[in-house]
Amino acid sequence: MNGIFKKAILPLALAGILLSFAWIILREYSSGWELVFKMLFLAGMPFGIRRMCLWIIPFGGNNVAASVAILALNFVAGGIIGAFVLVWKVIVAVFVIIKAIVGIFLPRKTIAEND
């Protein structure tokens, strides 16, 4: 049950909350596919910022403007990576839930039953 909670329920709940906040913020300014991509970008940012640290995206520069530009680039890269991670986590969660439901209705045979 702990694996189902960690792999399915928690990611789906977090994705739902993030997507609902993004929809509330963006629904007046965007429509159609633009809204979908912006929602994925904003909702995926918390998932991607953590994974973005695996790649080296330099931070620094000689002045404040370069530092702000690199920081913005880090957020954009985190949002793009996070959108893919978010979609992947939702797909994995759906398969985990399906596997749990099938496991409930179709129990495995024990060794004693095979003899």
> pLDDT (tens digit, 0 to 9) for every residue of the chain, 115 residues total?
677 888 888 888 988 898 888 888 888 887 888 888 888 888 888 877 776 665 555 555 567 777 777 778 878 888 888 888 888 988 998 998 888 888 888 877 666 665 5
Residues 6 or more apart whose Cβ sits within 8 Å of residue 99: none
pLDDT score for 110: 62
Domain residue limits, the chain: 2-102
Spatial distance between the Cα atoms of 15 and 21, rounded to a whole number of angstroms: 10
Q: What is the pTM (predicted TM-score) of this model?
A: 0.71
Nearest to 81 by CA among 111, 58, 54: 54
pLDDT score for 59: 58
Spatial distance between the Cα atoms of 101 and 94, rounded to a whole number of angstroms: 11
**Cβ–Cβ < 8 Å for 8, 101:** no
